[in-house]
Amino acid sequence: MRDNESNSGNPALIIGVVAALGLLGLLVVGGGVAAVFLLGVRAVPQPAAPPVTAQVVVPDEPADALPPFDRRGREALPGGPAIEVAPAPHVARAKPVASLTAVQLWNTYGMNELTADGDYKGKYLDISGSVQSVNKGADGRYVVGFAVVAPAALNQRQLAQLSPRERKWFKDGYPPNVVCYFSKENEAAFADVKIGKEVTVTAKVVGRKSADVWRDYVVELDNAALVK
């Protein structure tokens, strides 16, 4: 009886017990709340990052670092490096289909132009004859002319029967009736050709053309090259 009274009557003891119980309750409640919070929180999934593609950017080479070529690509502009230009490829000359004298070719066209064109036009021939002229034509190209007419000696009566232009030709020389134009690359070869010299050329037949010559026509050839 005395013990119960002493225990119930000790306020300090009662207060201590109550405080301990309250602290314990707070810890229990707090732990539960913390556990619930931790269990309820989930990591929000993040979207996958897109793949990264590496892009290499090559800067344009500055213009002044390039050789200053002209647009044709054949030579450098002033101030540029020296350029070795490859020579043009050699084009093989077509094989001649026949060998004729200038007189023979001229006579063939005089007899039948249609047949002569069918046989020779656009084809290469070896033409031989006596050189009557080497000069520049009306279009600026050089041309070698072959003699066809070799006039015989005429007396005064025969001379009087000639037309004015024939008398002039008889006195000064007849113009060539077979003419062969040659390219600039062949000028050096023809530079040493003398009037009256017998030569052979390879040339492409162009055909018959009207001209102020004997019988009023010439046979023209092109792209001539000196053979001998």
Q: pLDDT, tens digit, for every residue of 161-170?
A: 999 999 999 9
Q: What's the pLDDT tens digit per position in 62-109?
A: 544 444 434 444 444 455 555 454 444 444 566 899 999 999 999 999
Q: What is the pTM of this model?
A: 0.59
Q: First-to-last CA distance in the chain?
A: 163
For residue 179, give Cα distances in angstroms to 24, 132, 135, 147, 167.
Answer: 133, 10, 11, 9, 22
Q: What's the pLDDT tens digit per position in 102-148?
A: 999 999 999 999 999 999 999 999 999 999 999 998 888 999 999 99
One-character DSSP codes across 41-59:
--PPPPPPPPPPPP----P
Does residue 181 surpass a pLDDT of 80? yes
What domains, with CATH codes, occur in the chain?
A: 98-226 (2.40.50.140)
The predicted structure's pLDDT at residue 78: 52
Overall average pLDDT of the 46-53 stretch: 52
Does residue 192 surpass a pLDDT of 70? yes
Residue 152 CB contacts under 8 Å (≥ 6 apart), including other chains: none
